[in-house]
Amino acid sequence: MTGRHSGLTLLLIAIVGFLTICPVIMLVFGSLSEGLTATGTFTLAKYIAAYTDPALLEVIWNTVIFVGGAASTATALALFLAYLNIRTDIPFKFIFGIISIIPMMIPHLLFSVSWVLLLNPSNGILNLILRQVFSLHHAPFNIYSLPGMVLVEGLLDLPIAYLIIAPAMASFDASLEESSRVCGASTGKTIFRITLPVLRPAILAAFILCIIRGLASFAVPSVIGMPGRIYVLATHLYQMVSTGFAADYGKAAALGMSVLLAAIILIYLYRYLTSASDRFVTIAGRGYKPTIIKLQRSRIPLFLILGFLSFILIILPVVVLFYTSLVPYSMVPSMRAFSMMGLKHWIEVLNDPISLLSLKNSLFLGVFGATIGIVLSIFVAYVIVKVRSRSAGVLESLSFLSFSFPGIVIGVGFMWFFVRTPLYATIWALLIGYIATYLPYGVRPLSSAFVQIHDHLEESSLVAGASYLTTLRRIVIPLLVPGIVSGWVLMATMFVRELSLSVVLSRPGTEVLAVQILRFSEDGLWGKLSALGIMMIGVSTLLVLLVNFIGRKFRPVDR
Amino acid sequence: MEIRIAGLRKHYASEGRIIKALDDVDLTIPSNQIFTLLGPSGCGKTTLLRSIVGLESPDAGEIRIGDEIVYSSARHISVPTEKRGLGMVFQTYAIWPHMNVYDNVAYPLQNRKVPKEEIRRRVAETLAFVQLEGFENRPATKLSGGQQQRVALARALVAQPRVILFDEPLSNLDAKLREETRKELKTFLYDLQITAVYVTHDRVEALALSDTIAVMRAGRIIEIGSPKKIYFDAESEFVADFIGRANLVKAVVREQLSGTTIVDSAIGRLACRKGNFSPDSHVTLCLRPEFISLTRGDHPGTNVVQGTIASMVFVGDAFEGEIRVGDQHLLARIEPETDLAVGDEVGFQVSPDHCLLVAG
Ligand SMILES: Nc1ncnc2c1ncn2[C@@H]1O[C@H](COP(=O)(O)OP(=O)(O)OP(=O)(O)O)[C@@H](O)[C@H]1O
Ligand SMILES: [Mg+2]
């Protein structure tokens, strides 16, 4: 059995290694070679060009502000929300559950667009309303600014930070705080001297993950930053590779190496922190009883803040998109606007061959890509959790690596690779790139599913006289179903909305939804964009519902 | 500092039922004593303790510490925990994992704005007192259970609180360490002459440690007294049964003599410790196994009970014997090197002082 497993492990290391290391190697080669390919003669010219670019300093400065600001915003908001949910008697706690799953529902690209629709200086709906109400000459807000980018990215990263901080807060031993109170510290002082320091590993982990996401983020910088001429590293790189005939992949790769390196260092720092946080787990004895803080007078104001946050996170983007897809051009909601509503944009989109093609491609990539990805994830997770050999550890590190990959950077690596194969400019190139980049999204839920299948469960089935295959069918697979479902849903929704890798790899004929939406946004075709965006949300939601339905049929016990 | 509690009430609503965690508790905790709250799990000990420190807010009643009213529902007073100036050792010790031993112990003094130099001196003193000199820089996560317990004690003591409270501080330790730590704790508290309120459901701990024991049941204090009184002279059957192992035998009072009360019981007529019962009232006779010393055969004299050994179980330091007397079974302690065996006719004589009568 061990022999077969080591064979399987090596095979998986080969596959995953190929998927994750290949583009990195191509990047290294490409950045060091002359010309447009990755195999030209050796030169350092690309590095020199990339790092002596006078524009770089400002780009780096913008990136630091953007990424740091967004990560701080997201972490602070997540802390605040987690504290409210877990430690206070705030009403309607189900809202927190919704906030933590919305990133699966509303793609970053559309979320950014909806903020542009609301707050752009020329015809943002909110700006128009405020101008009317206060008879202003200028729009009061300009989303095309660094603060605007920080705000939107911060809101986008909030759920992921919340998902890290909330469990840590929930397992916090309340007597640590109580003893601080007995020792003479007020509630506020206790929060700063005990609660926050004890939660520090979780807070740092959330912050670092947000930084990684911010570095890789392309939706906000392209939709909000570029129109305002605010370039961060992601859009700076995008400019190098997308400007038609003057594309300079080598220079992009040379600069991208630093981004990639930073992201990889951060992701391992993150992993170290999340594993080291065990150090801070204190014995929760029998006396453990988390005290719920009665908010009293601040209950209603705090709830209003929460309500406002969930409104702008969940409801507003969808409503704005819907509205924009129905009115002929940007206008303040009014009787006139409602009377002019129609399906013009929807009909145009449904008659636009490229939009239809992108819909078809994305649906294919979502369904087929996620299926292949999840099969690979099952094997990888199995080896990581159950085999636990040294090579399984290598596999784990490898499969975790792509979590840090900024799509734009790794996309260039993939492009160089695919150019040398017949796959270039086919949908398969996208499919492979997607699976490589999003493998951790499938491996993680499946690893936790495998952790729950204790060895004894399998062994007792074997002892009970079932064959190995029967054991797999009757015991292992049914217990895996929840993990398979959530992994598949995560991958499929990621694939349907994928943007940053696709903008590099997509070619005429292989358009996908997000790229098409970005084109509409660059051309200011907001109505068409919104119609296509709603379709995109519809496709994702449909896939989620469908798979949950199928998964329920396969549940071992009906619940 | 004396603690006076009057009419304290705390009800919880849980799954549609009302749980009376504290049911009109009236209690005076004398100053400079070790006062123990003892009772079965769920009887409200922790709730009472947490109400005293202010971590729980009662529904009604009043709590005074010394002359200060820290809680009064009638006067709408509720002094926040941090202003009550108490010390507490939690069941989990609640040692802050991100601080070292020194910072943990210095924390209460820092909150009271004590000058740095003095903090240093007092922390050193207190650590020396709990025998943790040299542990100042040890991270709190690198301490054994017993050491954590002592850090928690040092932290509770360092600011010289008016009262120190303990919630089952030994229950996380293993049996041997628990015994050692209990002795240590007793010495510490004895040296300090401080008011200590100690919660436990372990009767041995309560008997060994306390000056006064209050036994609780279902949110009420049902009996208060010295360990000896509680053990030998409990007023209720519940307390007598809870505080130690006891044979409980139904009996009827026959006669009150000058020093004893005579009863008729299922194990015969016995002279018992004097109790305030009228003749013919129904009582329970409580006989502790450790006061039954068996001898073989017939036994002359008064206050004698005869029976046969029904079973013997070796438990290490003795045999646990079961004696059949009529249709009553009595537990008895039998010396380990005995030559008695199952089926032997045995008898024992018991002093009236060890025959406790309780109501019911
Ligand atoms: N927050 C709460 N909500 C509902 N019921 C509670 C709550 N806290 C305590 N109770 C109930 O109040 C009663 C007294 O609880 P308390 O913790 O004071 O018991 P205890 O005597 O300390 O028990 P133990 O020896 O097990 O620690 C119990 O029945 C408990 O279930
Ligand atoms: Mg308790």
Task: Give chain B's largest Cα–Cα span.
Answer: 76
| Domains, chain A, with CATH or none | 1-43+343-554 (1.10.3720.10), 45-312 (1.10.3720.10)
The amino acid that residue B91 corresponds to is Q
pLDDT at A555 over 80: no
Q: What was the pLDDT predicted at A290? A: 59
- Top-confidence residue, A328 or B212: B212
Q: Are B88 and B171 found together in one domain?
A: yes
- Work out the minimum CA distance from B84 to partner chain A, whole angstroms: 8
Residues of chain B with pLDDT under 50: none
Nearest CA in chain A to B173: A285
Report the pocket of ligand 1 as residue ranges, CB < 6 Å: B 12, 14, 19, 21, 39, 41-47, 201
**Phi and psi angles of residue A222, each rounded to the nearest 5 degrees, phi first:** -80, -40
Q: Which residue is closest in CA terms to ligand 1's atom 26?
A: B41
- Whether residues B11 and B106 fall in one domain: yes
Q: Which of A10-24, A232-246, B3-17, B270-284 has the lowest mean pLDDT?
A: A232-246
Which of B80, B92, B111 is the closest to A183 by Cβ? B111
- What average pLDDT score do residues A539-544 get? 87
List, for residues B7-42, the tens digit of each pLDDT value: 999 998 877 889 899 999 999 999 999 999 999 988
Torsion angle of C-alpha atoms A529, A535, A539, A544, degrees rounded to 10: 90
pLDDT of residue A556: 53
Query: Taking 60 as the threshold, does the pLDDT of residue A558 lie above it?
Result: no
Residue B295 lies in a domain: yes
Mean pLDDT confidence for A31-42: 78
Answer whether residue A2 shows pLDDT above 60: no
* B242: in domain: no
Which of B264-297 are b and which e, b meaning 16 or more Cβ less than 10 Å from the residue's Cβ?
Answer: ebebbebbbbebebeeeeebbbbbbbebbebeee
Residue pLDDT, tens place only, A65-104: 999 999 999 999 999 998 888 888 888 888 887 777 776 6
Q: Which pLDDT score is estimated for B181?
A: 84
3-state secondary structure of B268: strand
pLDDT score recorded for residue B64: 94
Q: What is the pLDDT of residue A1?
A: 44
The answer to whether position B245 is within a domain reads: no
Tell me, yes or no, whether B143 and B115 share the same domain: yes
Residue A435 clears pLDDT 90, i.e. is over it? yes
Residues B284 and B218 in one domain: no
Is the domain of B48 the same as that of B85? yes
Q: Is the pLDDT of residue A128 over 50?
A: yes
CATH code for position B317: 2.40.50.140
Whether the per-residue pLDDT at A55 is higher than 60: the answer is: yes
What is the number of the ligand 1 atom nearest to the C-alpha of B43?
21
Lookup: tokens for B347:
């008898």
Of the three residues B202, B237, B272, the one that is the final residue of a domain is B237
Give domain status of residue B106, yes or no.
yes
Name the residue of B8, B46, B52 to mutate for ligand 1: max ligand atoms within 8 A of Cβ.
B46
Alpha helices in A107-145 (DSSP H): 108-119, 125-134
Nearest by CB to A198, which of B88, B97, B156? B97
* Mean pLDDT, rounded, for A180-205: 90
Closest atom of ligand 1 relative to the B199 alpha carbon: 22
- What pTM, to 2 d.p., does this model score? 0.81
Q: Are residues B63 and B203 in the same domain?
A: yes
pLDDT of residue A327 exceeding 80, the answer is: yes
Same domain, residue pair B203 and B281? no
Across A119-128, A238-247, A265-274, B85-94, least confident range: A238-247
What digits encode the pLDDT tens for the residues A347-396? 988 999 999 999 999 999 999 999 999 999 998 998 888 877 888 888 88
Candidate from A179, A184, A198 with C-beta closest to B90: A179
Residue A4 has pLDDT above 70, yes or no: no
What H or E segment, with its residue span, contains residue B304?
strand B304-314
Nearest alpha carbon to residue A499 among A424, A396, A430: A430
B82 touches chain A (CB under 8 A): yes
Q: Does residue B213 sit in the same domain as residue B306? A: no
Q: Whose CA is nearest to atom 25 of ligand 1?
A: B41
Check residues B232 and A554 and name the one with the higher pLDDT.
B232
| B213/B315 same-domain check | no
Mutate to test the interface with A, among B81, B105, B173 (most CBs of A within 10 A): B81
Determine, yes or no, domain membership for B64: yes
Query: How long a stretch of residues is chain B?
Result: 360
Q: Report the alpha-carbon distance of residue B48 to residue A103 in Å, rounded.
A: 46
What pLDDT does residue B343 have?
A: 87
pLDDT of A534 higher than 60: yes
Let me know whether B59 and B193 are in one domain.
Answer: yes
User: Which of A154, A25, A107, A142 has the alpha carbon at shortest distance from A497?
Assistant: A107
The answer, for B92 touching chain A at a CB cutoff of 8 Å, is yes
Interface of A with B (CB under 8 A): 173, 175-176, 178-186, 189, 193-194, 197-198, 200, 279-280, 282-288, 291
Residue B243 lies in a domain: no
Cβ distance A178 to B94 less than 8 Å, yes or no, reads: yes
Q: Which helix (H) or strand (E) holds A230?
A: none
Average pLDDT (A505-512) is: 90
Confidence of residue A278 (pLDDT cuts 50, 70, 90): very low
Is position B244 within any domain?
A: no
Structure tokens at A420: 């040398």
* Residue B186 shares a structural domain with residue B275: no
Residue B92 is nearest to which of A200, A279, A284, comparing CB atoms?
A284
Is B98's Cβ below 8 Å from some Cβ in A?
Answer: yes
B231 and B110 both lie in a single domain: yes
Q: Hey, is A24 helix, strand or coil?
A: helix
Structural domain including B137 reads: 3-237
Residue B141: closest CA among B99, B173, B171: B99
Q: Which of B237, B268, B296 is the last residue of a domain?
A: B237
The total domain count for chain B is 2
Average pLDDT, chain A: 85
What's residue B65's pLDDT? 92
Distance B48 CA to ligand 2 centre (A): 9
pLDDT at A559: 39
Q: Say which CATH number the domain at B50 has.
A: 3.40.50.300
The pLDDT of residue A66: 97
Residue of the CA atom closest to atom 2 of ligand 1: B12
Render pLDDT for A282-297 as a digit per residue (tens, 0 to 9). Answer: 433 334 455 677 777 8
Q: Tell me how far the alpha carbon of residue B40 lies from the centroid of ligand 1, in angstroms.
A: 11
B86 close contact with A: CB closer than 8 A? yes
> Which atom of ligand 1 lies closest to the CA of B91?
27
A499 pLDDT exceeds 80? Answer: yes
- Report CB contact under 8 Å: A282, B92: yes
pLDDT above 80 for A460: no
Residue B8: predicted pLDDT:
94
Residue A280 pLDDT: 43
